[in-house]
Structure 1
């Protein structure tokens, strides 16, 4: 097992990784920008290294600085968390080439799944069902019009690189497609340095369902059930739950088996998530995340398995130690992402935290690096906490979540807690009847 792990991230996920390491008897190294010198994970880590100024480009995305920090602290391995360099194949390769272990999949698998076209091709070869669309990147507007005519409108134009909704446009007709083609390529070029786009059939009311998998280096693969991530704003997840209220036991077992078979064929190792759109009883693969997910705690709540601990064990060469038959799911869990934003306009709200009180009690978990007096910096993603609630049933979970949100006090900055309080009492959500477009319609962002 590793003696020392460098955590190449910040915020709640850096603290989450530190806690897993501490429980395994592993020493930790926190890297941080000048803006994060007082962050909780920096305070708690065994060692810390400042790797640059506030700008992420000059700190958390600075590969050389992170590798230098690992060298001077004699770290054995590097955990990238999520975001930043977690799905950067070149970084994963550099980590291994410099004699450290990358706690994640191989650079080849990250590279394969980092491009939407190669990911879709690999998925189809591995037997995953995919959304009808173009075979690869579209070479011209004429080709786009031809493919759209074959699969039928509406269609979705998507950037081959990147994500987060950038370079993604819907077209309901040939006239709209011409404009969407141009805008999507412009956005993709600006955001990712790559203008290539491809096309998929646009599903009308799908759910966003993802399957969490774990695979070791000995051919053992298990899935830990599904998460429903359909509550989204501008393609960004807002709330997640497990299991999905849209799936029955037969559908859950079917997609879980399909996911495990595909991962085994790919020879993948470590944690990963296969994301699907689900409509009319059918699953359609959209992408794979080759890292830990923000929403991993809801899976931990219903499975009892520590995903970060398993990531570390697998990276150290250990087998999983259990089979699919050993995994039992219990109850229901929901996660609310708490952002430092205006709950109506979503304008960022950085600043100093005044009074702070996290909710507690049975089945309540808060993943956050916040404390009274902490200054939320303006330089990074606005998510400042995750509230995760677990109950024996979905109804119990919802009642507990209402209570926990009412207890949560974060003063000094605006947060999205009021938005979550509104969402979880809406009839559609209470009844589990929502899709990926529901939230934006609810908020008046989409007609």
Structure 2
């Protein structure tokens, strides 16, 4: 109750001090206005005096000018009398205007004298107000003494409140330990409530805060249980992922071994291709030496554009990158080799892919399948299959490579998938 009374008294002191401050501001404004009016009067007087002196000087100058003209131009007096009379009339009009302006200035000076009288009264009122202000300041000093005493008492009460707040925060921290400590904290909070209830009503809010903390603690315990459950599930999932990762690492090692084996196969194929090319070169040289024999040999790669297939039905492959086509028996637009003469021909091919799935090709003579090379790339990565055949052909027989339905091949600038053939020797028609 004493604290509230002190707070109300302090508010009253603040209001009184604000009223006194406003009154002081009014007095200062009156002083400023009186000083501004004085300056305006002085300025106006100075301007009127300056204007009068200017008129007088102008009149004197004009009189002197007329005298000089009368003395110098005596022979032309009669001729210029009318102009001189008009100028005198003009000067008299100016003098009348100046006198009227002087009359106005005298009227304004009378008004200024009235304003000075009013300012004297205002100064008297200001002196009275200053006396009142001094009395108010003395009263304010007394009130300041009282307010300082009240501030001391308020500081004591605020210290008590800070101590109570620190005790409440300690209670909040101890609530987070366990359920057992929660009961103890509740007992202590009740005891603190009974001790502090006579000091201030703010501790009731701390009790409500304690209840809110209990609710939050229960919610956090439930969330903790849910997180434990999720953590257990994630632990199980992590163990499964680790097992799968270990399995994938083993599979990767197997794939690397198979990739190394495929690399060796590719190297072997390259050596075989070099051997075949050398043999083809020898045969070409032999063919150039033998005048009556037909020379036929070709070699081509599939494409530079990547994957070919899979298709819904079996499709003839067009090996469009032609390396050699002696005799022009291979058509790079249709992918078909046409035998020019009856002879024994040698054909070889390599099919490659690098994605999981079925890969391979079938060699056809006309509509008859001769030999196939099929494989399942179940590990991903580069894989290849190679085959060849020695086939007797009659003139006009057609040989091609066909991609089975749902199979796929791959080729790029490195020429993984190739098709080649050459004429080994001619045979007679009856053979």
TM-score (norm 1): 0.19
Find the structure with the greater CA-based Rg: 2
Bigger fraction of residues in helix: 2
Counting strand residues as a fraction of each chain, which structure ranks higher? 1
TM-score, with length taken from structure 2: 0.19
